[in-house]
Chains A and B, each alone.
Chain A
């Protein structure tokens, strides 16, 4: 037994060594005819319905090329970055996933993460190893843009000095502004800004607050709530006393947005609630109860309702429904688009006669330009962000999301 463990450790070390030394190109030799794409998303916890839908999107994209680029087989592994104890993404698990991807030399692309906080952990690791990372859902601005997050962002995620992180969703600086503009448009004046004290929630709430001040909304208070609290009735009383007619919550279903919505109703607070895309999933309606959200809650989302997608997006929607016999969640198409962009890069490498390895895929994904995908025609800019800027404002009607406005 001991010997076997020793041997396994030795094998693992042997596999990890090339990656550590940065000679990832060896991968192609070791696993001649297959490369691996992995995704790291929170599969345990209430984001599960959303992430299942995203994984389905990724699988669809791979199935569309027949699982092969040239004679190279594309393998896919669906990794979980959450733990049952947290019911949400777990920093330790995300770190393990990144290390696992680095150690497995056949991994050429990493799709993830869902939560911006989780991205902070794997970004520098994958950057050092030179693995391309494409996120279907991270929206925190600081991950790619200087001056919008912490002082050392985004340089701290790029120890190699090169960009390896890309995303297909527009960022929170835009999202926060869209929410503030909409609040003004529907005549709201006094806002209480809350966040869940996570990277994503704080970022988007900050962006909202900045824009709200700019356009003359009055900020009557700010606070950060405890995502594991039983209820927010006391906090709601404080908001009521402050005289707010709008509560903005930078947070997700997993950080208890549903309970907050309920307590606003039970606490007799007659204010609207605006939440960001982390709540654009059916689990949010389920947790809050449709009654608490009807005509009261607005959800911004970096894209449009899958039903409203056009062109290739509409094809995606139809195929998805046909394949999985279910409606895709809001982020399914982003999972699909990530995989599509990576596969398109591999295709270009193959056509040019190159070897599909980590370095080549990384370089080629970065060159994605005027990509015609399900989200329209878009490119990655110099920061690794998508040039797509479509946002929608949604509300809840009769237990389902309904789009009230689309901002291009």
Chain B
């Protein structure tokens, strides 16, 4: 492989991984923007999205749809979009439910109480995923080893689009991530900037009390935020699953950590910030793996984060805000 090929390859991987991180980061940043809560359970909502997707694949008859001979049919794209939407809706409503049951009663409690509650919810969800992994289905390995990583079948054809002899590998999965993530981000931006509910969200983020005085139903705005954040997390989990071909009950931990870092890097509360932050983290990881050493990658990521926060304490696109947890 020439240097250029290597670089190109790392850019592809960096962007693909980064897009997924960005989708998850949006969930963190939106919720934070509205209710000033770092929703630590978000990564685990993401995990459950992956489990739902695998369950659906199993229920639909993995063998029948995923016959290698039919890979590449349009039906697989349909299945993929179906999974993204279903997992998205599931995670969206799960997120809303968590808000209603756990966060809402604590809305006026000290920020630290909410934070600890979020960590508690995270533990509960991790354990639900552990139980779910023991589901007696073929795709879960018969449920014999609940905690083992689960193989997620290939939904899109896995061959190299640039030809089997090319050193640079670009697969349908990479394209699928772009094809699904970018429209979602554009849609979200339009929604927040152009619709009435979006305007309500921006207003609530700026000043919840004033927003309420102006007649905005802030409870509805908050629910919508959790719904959309969860939806993006669910969509990301399916992208993650088809990209890595694995799900595990711990997948939300690292994805959540990366996404949270991305949200802070981009400026927590800022939507374009989370997108840029996610893609940046993906790229930094890829470049560090290549040009430094994998063992240093986490150090590099957090070193960059610290550097940026030293010069721009509220992140790349963040606005100066009052002190928050």
A262 to B295, Cβ gap below 8 A?
no
Q: Give A205 Cβ to nearest chain B Cβ, in Å.
A: 12
B245 to A289, Cβ gap below 8 A?
yes
B145 contacts which of A49, A84, A289 (Cβ < 8 Å)? A49
B297 to A226, Cβ gap below 8 A?
yes
Q: How far is the CA of A288 from the CA of B295 in the complex (A)?
A: 22
Beyond known contacts A46-B147, A266-B245: 16 more, CB 8 A cutoff:
A44-B130, A44-B147, A84-B123, A223-B294, A228-B253, A230-B254, A233-B17, A234-B289, A237-B290, A240-B1, A241-B6, A258-B149, A259-B244, A267-B169, A268-B160, A282-B145
A234 to B149, Cβ gap below 8 A?
no
B149 contacts which of A240, A268, A282, A287 (Cβ < 8 Å)? A287
Against A, the Cβ 8 Å flags (1 = close, 0 = not) of B119-135 are: 00001001100100000
- Nearest B-chain residue to A44, judged by Cβ: B147
Q: Does A229 touch B at the CB level, under 8 Å? A: yes
- Nearest B-chain residue to A290, judged by Cβ: B151
Q: Give A262 Cβ to nearest chain B Cβ, in Å.
A: 6
Known: A46-B147, A259-B149. A230 touches B1 (CB 8 A): no
- Nearest B-chain residue to A233, judged by Cβ: B13
B246 to A259, Cβ gap below 8 A?
yes
B1 contacts which of A46, A241, A266 (Cβ < 8 Å)? A241
Provide the residues of chain A in CB contact with B13, threshold 8 Å. Answer: 233-234, 237
Offer 11 A-B interface pairs, CB within 8 angstroms, sorted by A: A48-B148, A49-B145, A226-B294, A233-B17, A234-B14, A237-B289, A253-B148, A259-B149, A268-B169, A287-B148, A287-B151
A235 to B123, Cβ gap below 8 A?
no
- Nearest B-chain residue to A269, judged by Cβ: B169
B147 to A45, Cβ gap below 8 A?
yes
A235 contacts which of B130, B150, B167, B294 (Cβ < 8 Å)? B294
Against A, the Cβ 8 Å flags (1 = close, 0 = not) of B264-307 are: 00000000000000000000011001100111011000000000
Q: Does B312 touch A at the CB level, under 8 Å? A: no
Provide the residues of chain A in CB contact with B146, threshold 8 Å. Answer: 48
The 6 closest A-B pairs by CB, nearest first: A234-B289, A46-B148, A224-B295, A287-B149, A283-B148, A49-B145
Known: A84-B126, A84-B127, A237-B13. A289 touches B151 (CB 8 A): yes
List residues 71-118 of chain B with CB under 8 A from any CB of chain A.
none
Provide the residues of chain A in CB contact with B289, threshold 8 Å. Answer: 234-235, 237-238
B246 to A258, Cβ gap below 8 A?
yes
A230 to B240, Cβ gap below 8 A?
yes
List residues 17-71 of chain A with CB under 8 A from any CB of chain B.
44-46, 48-49
Q: Does A219 touch B at the CB level, under 8 Å? A: no
Provide the residues of chain A in CB contact with B316, threshold 8 Å. Answer: none
Interface size on A, residues (CB 8 A): 39
Residues on B lying within 8 angstroms of A by beta carbon are 1, 6, 9-10, 13-14, 17, 20, 123, 126-127, 130, 141, 144-151, 158, 160, 167, 169, 171, 240, 243-246, 248-251, 253-255, 258, 285-286, 289-290, 293-295, 297-298
Q: Give B71 Cβ to nearest chain A Cβ, in Å.
A: 13
- Nearest A-chain residue to B291, judged by Cβ: A238
Q: How far is the CA of A283 from the CA of B6 in the complex (A)?
A: 33
Q: How far is the CA of A256 from the CA of B9 in the complex (A)?
A: 22
- Nearest A-chain residue to B2, judged by Cβ: A241
Against B, the Cβ 8 Å flags (1 = close, 0 = not) of A248-284 are: 0000010010110010001110000000000000110
- Nearest B-chain residue to A47, judged by Cβ: B147
Provide the residues of chain B in CB contact with A287, threshold 8 Å. Answer: 148-151, 246, 248
Provide the residues of chain B in CB contact with A267, threshold 8 Å. Answer: 169
- Nearest A-chain residue to B133, judged by Cβ: A46
Interface centre among B130, B148, B167, B290 (most CB of A within 10 A): B148
Known: A48-B145, A238-B289, A262-B244. A84 touches B130 (CB 8 A): yes
Provide the residues of chain A in CB contact with B298, threshold 8 Å. Answer: 226
Provide the residues of chain A in CB contact with B249, threshold 8 Å. Answer: 87
B250 to A230, Cβ gap below 8 A?
no
Known: A45-B147, A49-B148, A84-B127. A225 touches B254 (CB 8 A): no
Q: How far is the CA of A240 from the CA of B171 in the complex (A)?
A: 17
B251 contacts which of A48, A230, A262 (Cβ < 8 Å)? A230
Q: How far is the CA of A258 from the CA of B149 in the complex (A)?
A: 8
Provide the residues of chain A in CB contact with B290, threshold 8 Å. Answer: 234, 237-238
A229 contacts which of B149, B169, B254 (Cβ < 8 Å)? B254
Q: How far is the CA of A192 from the CA of B249 in the complex (A)?
A: 30
B244 to A228, Cβ gap below 8 A?
no
Provide the residues of chain B in CB contact with A85, threshold 8 Å. Answer: 123, 126
Provide the residues of chain B in CB contact with A282, threshold 8 Å. Answer: 145
Interface centre among A233, A238, A256 (most CB of B within 10 A): A233
